[in-house]
């Protein structure tokens, strides 16, 4: 297939490489060209604009950092939407608001192209290993058509129906659950630490028994060790996701006390200018407020 | 071995049955005798008081609902502590404050008996299946001596060292983590529900992928279905645990914003007089505050 | 002076009447004409559109319910901005975001008209009695020119400098402080109630001593009596203000735990569909969660 | 009258001086004698123990820092309760739990002496000026008998009936309302600061208009100036009061989200070891979390 890929951060590059492996024709665009180098070496074509990237595309993937960036590559000057061939499908992997997804889907419909919401769960290493979990929503036929591509980049697909915003609600909810697990472990481990129980001892118990799951194992280790490196995603980036979550909650009248706590911990982390750490490092707020901060 | 068992609620009965299976001599006591019936049929001896239950015991298990109940059976009129033969070991399984554990351990030391803290994780069905997770702390030799008994009732033992209160801190932290997972799922599922995503759809995704663990699977199902039956433990009982947790946090100067939220949800549940539900039913507070309560 | 007044809710009508008393020429517009009746009887002229209302205005007041309504009357079809005579001054009394104020001020500058931010504190009865407290910010000369008009409608003016958004930040902060006082009294009075101290007894003490101020006296009485009538402003309306507050807080990286609590109480009140009460009625959430709700 | 006074901190000394002015016979006791010096110079008698202080007392005042200290001077070795002449009245001014008040009142009843709960509002300077606000509860006759003494030390008395714990519930609620006003102003002023509005400008408006009351004027100034000196009461001391408040709330099933926030801010302040500041300095937590801490 003829595929365009727009947005080559850590996640985008990893996904694009997995698409290349199956000999699909891949044309890529990114704001800064340097990030396309290894993909071009691996056989991808470079395009100077989003619009030129999709000139012959059957499918265009986008993986951008936020709603504004997606809006720009789709609808800005040299945006791809107007250039997308009729019948082509846009697989939108970014974590964005359901509202933006709905607006874009409408624009596609007007132009006889299609929008599939496909936000993903997983860190960059999971993306490289094609072990992402994918959430889809939108037009049924389009989803079926692109399914073989999705199977190249993830280990499973969960579908949330026709309403195009649904998958984004789920993605935001997932990041929220993650943030809750981080805060909860931070509080528990800090309580242990101040009462003579090693952070790692509590981590060993819970991550191997009641909470034996990827999130508690992986994020739990960072929190137990208080080492928030490498940076999978920055506090500012995930804070943006939590803001989108609280926007959805606000519009649909859902009080979310945990959501508010997590948002505030991330806000404090960003406001204090804590340097280069993974977003899980907001766990350090708990230690700091207990007088045992090491961050 | 000659074992006494005091406290025959759902959990206590299940544990005691597993001890009986190995032909240990078991003498039991409970405030209301009716709960001892099946154990007596299975070969246990009945004692009219805690003191008489331990008259020849090498080991005494206690599984009571709170600090006050444990205090009563140990140190009250007809309490067992004064009657316990020198060298005997008290395996204390209740969820109590680390402070109470420390005080009891001191009393034991004076009397040349020993105290092993051994709070457990698991619902009554896990207790029946000898699938509890056990947390121990206290005297090293005593822990080694009773290890064969612990292996009869659980699927694994995590030890937290000599300091006798440590295992109780861990137990309280575990119940707290559980409460956090419940609140987090309640908020996420309710957000989905009000935005067109079925509670069960979100549950399926998260409990099978990022959060695939016993807690998210089992409690998550209750929250997705909004069916809080059968009652594993009442809201009032676990609210007591959260109060103990916050007491420890208060004494050791650890701010716990999530702990406070969970405690308040449980308090509201109890204050409103919500009838006979499992404690996970505090998740209904979230739905109610979003205008979609079904509890 | 030749004055236009746009937006005739309870607050707008009361303010406009006070302007009329000094024989200023007043032209009014409102979405539904019925609300202009008593003003027209008192000598005001009616205009069919915002644009025609300002045709000869030296000053235009706006008092709308939210940013969108203000945007519509200023910049929508028949919006007044394009029709405002050069040199005229817009006195903007609505509770809106500082961002909207800044954007409007820029539009004015382009057109050689001027924008004065002038949000007000006070209920409709204070507006009628010309006892509002006014907060201003924006162009110094423009503020001086309209000062005689402001003295007709308020009991005092506090100025917050040249930056046009400043007065709106202050207004949002004021509503926030009010919300905090309401929540605080709700918690205190409910604690008293459940411990044998009458709500009114606690109210008498605090509103006459340490907290003897208009807010604690007036709102405190509603909360003590649990009578949330008449409706000064609806829960949904002030919830909008709290959302604007949290938006400002979010953009400027200020964690506001109290702001989050108040917002959630208002959200729950709106989500539950509590009928026709003043926004102070969110105090009922506290009673309800304590099992003594009467709302 | 023959009066004993036990507990000579800043508050106790100031109150005792006001009693001396009317030529009452005053016998004082304090853990460290140095604090009695100026009172002895002014005519008070020194007693070496609480018991000897009350040997001929008609009335005994107590003003201690917490429940434990009061318990010690009343019921400990050399405690005054057993030595108090029949018919004498204990005026208990400390901020303690209603539970402790009830227990002490019972002990008094057994001994044919009487207990009047009389917690006070006001800083040391208000105590010196005899401008305290007094809250009473307990035996009606006893309250009437000591009323002339209360008029010497305060500017007004609010009575809360026969139930002896009531006045203490009110006192805790008052400190809570104070803490809420502090947190609310801290959030509002910090929001202003980060949006170009001077802390003092917002303070001027609110403390002179809607919130014109002693608390907002006095505490507001500390928060506006970010100068938390002199120390009226330490963060640790008032944190103790908030803990008592939350204990009452816990026992009576009242969720208090604001109470929890204030308690956590105080806990963080104490945990971080912030040196010698007034308890209002917990406002610095808000600034710190917004990245503009100066404390």
Q: Which residues of A are identified as catalytic? A: 171
Please indicate if any CB of chain C lies within 8 Å of the CB of D156: yes
Whole-model pTM?
A: 0.96
Residues in chain B within 8 Å Cβ distance of A204: 158
Interface touch B255/D243, C-beta < 8 Å: no
Q: ipTM greater than 0.85, yes or no?
A: yes
Q: Tell me the shortest Cα–Cα distance from B105 to chain D, in angstroms.
A: 25
Residues in chain A within 8 Å Cβ distance of B160: 197, 201
Q: Tell me the shortest Cα–Cα distance from C232 to chain A, in angstroms.
A: 22
pLDDT of residue C103: 97
Please indicate if any CB of chain D lies within 8 Å of the CB of B196: no
Residue found by looking up tokens 């103790």 in the block: D240
Average pLDDT for residues B36-63, to the nearest whole number? 98
Interface touch B267/C273, C-beta < 8 Å: no
pLDDT of residue D172: 98
Residue found by looking up tokens 């974590």 in the block: A95
Interface touch D267/B257, C-beta < 8 Å: no
Interface touch D268/B260, C-beta < 8 Å: no
Whether B82 and B70 have beta carbons less than 8 Å apart is answered as no
B253-291 CB burial, b ≥16 within 10 A, e <16: bbbbbbbbbbbbbbbbbbbbebeebbbbbbbbbbbbbbb
Residues C186 and C198: their CA atoms lie apart, in Å, by 13
Helix pair angle (A257-271, A235-251), 10° resolution: 150
| Token pair of A270 as six digits | 């960003």
Please, what is the average pLDDT of chain D?
A: 97
Residues in chain B within 8 Å Cβ distance of C272: 288-289, 291
Q: What angle do CA D228, D233, D236 make, to 5 degrees?
A: 100
Q: Which residues of B are identified as catalytic? A: 171
Residues D50 and D28: their CA atoms lie apart, in Å, by 8
Helix (H) or strand (E) holding D189: helix D166-193
pLDDT of residue B22: 86
Q: What is the CA radius of gyration of chain A?
A: 20
Residues in chain A within 8 Å Cβ distance of D268: 289-291
Interface touch D261/C261, C-beta < 8 Å: yes
Per DSSP, the residues of B145-202 read HHHHHHHHHEEEEEE--S-TTHHHHHHHHHHHHHHHHHHHHHHHHHHHHTTT--HHHH
Q: Per-residue pLDDT tens for B8-35?
A: 999 999 999 999 988 899 999 999 999 9
Please, what is the average pLDDT of chain C?
A: 97
What phi, psi does C26 have (nearest 5°)?
-120, 125
pLDDT of residue B48: 97
- Interface residue of D248, D255, D268 to substitute, partner B, most B CBs within 10 Å: D255
Residues in chain A within 8 Å Cβ distance of C270: 253
Average pLDDT for residues C2-24, to the nearest whole number? 95
Please indicate if any CB of chain A lies within 8 Å of the CB of C236: no
pLDDT of residue D294: 84
Residue D23 — very low, low, confident or very high, per pLDDT cuts 50/70/90? confident
Residues C104 and C91: their CA atoms lie apart, in Å, by 11
Please indicate if any CB of chain C lies within 8 Å of the CB of D209: yes
Name every residue whose Cβ is closer than 8 Å to that of residue D43 and which is 6 or more positions away in sequence: D20, D26
The interface residues of chain B toward chain A in range 33-62, judged by CB-CB distance below 8 A, are none
Residues β-bridged to residue B147: none
Please indicate if any CB of chain D lies within 8 Å of the CB of A112: no
What phi, psi does C241 have (nearest 5°)?
-60, -40
Residues A74 and A66: their CA atoms lie apart, in Å, by 12
pLDDT at B275 exceeding the cut of 80: no
Residues in chain C within 8 Å Cβ distance of B273: 291
Please indicate if any CB of chain D lies within 8 Å of the CB of A295: no
Residues in chain B within 8 Å Cβ distance of C273: 291
Number of residues in chain D = 295
Q: Per-residue pLDDT tens for A179-193?
A: 999 999 999 999 999
Helix pair angle (D257-271, B257-271), 10° resolution: 150
Please indicate if any CB of chain C lies within 8 Å of the CB of D289: yes
Residues D191 and C136: their CA atoms lie apart, in Å, by 18
**Ranges of each domain in chain D:** 2-163, 169-289
A34-59 CB burial, b ≥16 within 10 A, e <16: ebbeebeeeebeebebbbbbbeebbb
pLDDT of residue D274: 80
Strands (E), B53-98: 59-62, 89-92
Please indicate if any CB of chain A lies within 8 Å of the CB of D260: no
pLDDT at C295 exceeding the cut of 80: no
Q: Per-residue pLDDT tens for B71-119?
A: 999 999 999 999 999 999 999 999 999 999 999 999 999 999 999 999 9
pLDDT of residue B292: 97
Q: Tell which residue, D65, D121, D111, D66, has the closest CA to residue D89.
A: D111
Nearest CB to A268; choose among D271, D272, D289: D289
Please indicate if any CB of chain C lies within 8 Å of the CB of A250: yes
Please indicate if any CB of chain B lies within 8 Å of the CB of C275: no
Chains contacting A (3 or more CB pairs within 8 Å) = B, C, D
Q: Per-residue pLDDT tens for D132-189?
A: 999 999 999 999 999 999 999 999 999 999 999 999 999 999 999 999 999 999 999 9
Instruction: Write the CA distances from A54 to A24, A27, D81, D208, integer angstroms.
Output: 14, 8, 90, 63
Q: What angle do CA B263, D268, A233 make, to 5 degrees?
A: 80
- Interface residue of D262, D271, D275, D288 to substitute, partner A, most A CBs within 10 Å: D271
pLDDT of residue B2: 97
The interface residues of chain B toward chain A in range 62-101, judged by CB-CB distance below 8 A, are 98
What phi, psi does D133 have (nearest 5°)?
-100, 130
Name every residue whose Cβ is closer than 8 Å to that of residue D37 and which is 6 or more positions away in sequence: none
Q: Catalytic one among D171, D240, D251, D272? A: D171
Whether D115 and D90 have beta carbons less than 8 Å apart is answered as yes
Pick the residue from chain B with its C-alpha nearest to C194. Answer: B271
Q: Tell me the shortest Cα–Cα distance from D271 to chain A, in angstroms.
A: 5
Please indicate if any CB of chain B lies within 8 Å of the CB of A260: no
Please indicate if any CB of chain C lies within 8 Å of the CB of B264: yes
Instruction: Write the CA distances from A167 to A174, B13, D100, integer angstroms.
Output: 10, 46, 56
Please, what is the average pLDDT of chain B?
A: 97
Residues in chain C within 8 Å Cβ distance of D157: none
pLDDT at D275 exceeding the cut of 80: no
Q: What is the DSSP letter of D233?
A: S
Q: Is C2-163 in CATH node 1.10.240.10?
A: no
Segments of chain A scoring below 70 in pLDDT: none
Superfamily (CATH H level) for A2-164: NAD(P)-binding Rossmann-like Domain (3.40.50.720)
Instruction: Write the CA distances from D89 to B277, D115, D162, integer angstroms.
Output: 49, 6, 15
| Token pair of D273 as six digits | 């070891």
pLDDT of residue A294: 84
Q: Burial of C21 by CB count in 10 Å (0-12 exposed, 13-18 middle, 19+ buried)? A: exposed
Per the annotation, the verdict on D221 as an active-site residue is no
Average pLDDT for residues C62-85, to the nearest whole number? 97
Strands (E), chain A: 2-6, 25-29, 45-46, 59-62, 89-92, 114-117, 120-121, 132-138, 154-159
pLDDT at B295 exceeding the cut of 80: no
pLDDT of residue B251: 97
Q: Which fold has domain A169-289?
A: 1.10.1040
Residues D64 and D6: their CA atoms lie apart, in Å, by 8
Q: Tell me the shortest Cα–Cα distance from C94 to chain D, in angstroms.
A: 18
């Amino acid at each position: 297939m003829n595929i365009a890929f727009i947005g080559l951060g850590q996640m985008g590059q990893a996904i694009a490489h997995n698409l290349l492996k199956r000999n699909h024709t891949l044309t890529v665009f990114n704001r800064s060209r340097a990030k396309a180098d290894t993909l071009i070496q691996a056989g991808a074509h470079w395009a100077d604009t989003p619009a030129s990237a999709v000139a012959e595309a059957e499918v265009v993937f986008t993986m951008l950092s936020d709603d504004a960036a997606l809006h720009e590559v789709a609808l800005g000057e040299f945006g791809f939407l107007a250039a997308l061939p009729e019948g082509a499908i846009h697989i939108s992997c970014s974590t964005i608001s359901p509202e933006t997804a709905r607006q874009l889907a409408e624009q596609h419909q007007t132009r006889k192209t299609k929008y599939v919401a496909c936000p993903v769960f997983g860190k960059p290493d999971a993306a490289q290993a094609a072990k992402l979990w994918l959430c889809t929503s939108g037009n049924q036929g389009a989803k079926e058509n692109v399914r073989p591509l999705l199977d190249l980049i993830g280990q499973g697909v969960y579908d949330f129906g026709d309403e195009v915003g649904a998958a984004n609600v789920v993605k935001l909810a997932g990041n929220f659950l993650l943030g809750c697990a981080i805060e909860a472990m931070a509080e528990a481990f800090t309580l242990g630490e101040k009462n003579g129980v090693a952070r790692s001892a509590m981590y060993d118990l819970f991550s191997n028994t009641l909470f034996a799951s990827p999130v508690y194992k992986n994020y739990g280790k960072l929190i137990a060790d208080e080492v928030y490196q490498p940076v999978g995603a920055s506090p500012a980036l995930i804070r943006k996701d939590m803001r989108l979550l609280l926007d959805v909650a606000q519009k649909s009248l859902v009080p979310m006390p945990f959501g508010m706590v997590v948002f505030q911990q991330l806000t404090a982390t960003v406001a204090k200018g804590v340097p280069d750490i993974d977003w899980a490092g907001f766990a350090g707020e708990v230690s700091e407020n207990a007088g045992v901060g090491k961050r």
